[in-house]
Amino acid sequence: SLILQRNSMRWDGKVYEEVPIAHIKATYNNTHIQVVSFDNQPFSRTSCGTEGFQNAKKGTAIAAQAAAMAAAV
């Protein structure tokens, strides 16, 4: 049966179900990023504020990029 077959899709050598998931919440004032495993175990969590940006600078594209790079490491 087709339903019982395991999905063989791969991404960079990993089974698709095992690829980490990035949850991104972007607002006007800040960007929160959380990377979790396929079974919802957290790998990393960061935001523009935790990367050192303060006040209105947290809402900039540069701050969001810095937070994304920190979450990816």
pLDDT in tens, the chain (73 residues): 455 555 667 767 777 777 889 999 999 999 999 999 988 899 999 999 999 999 999 999 999 999 999 998 8
The model carries a pTM of: 0.76
24, two tokens? 């991104």
Tell me the domains of the chain and their CATH numbers.
16-72 (3.30.420.80)
* Best CA proximity match to 68, nearest among 11, 23, 12: 23
- In this prediction, residue 17 carries a pLDDT of 73
In 16-60, which ranges are E strands?
Answer: 21-26, 31-36, 42-47
67, two tokens? 């937070």
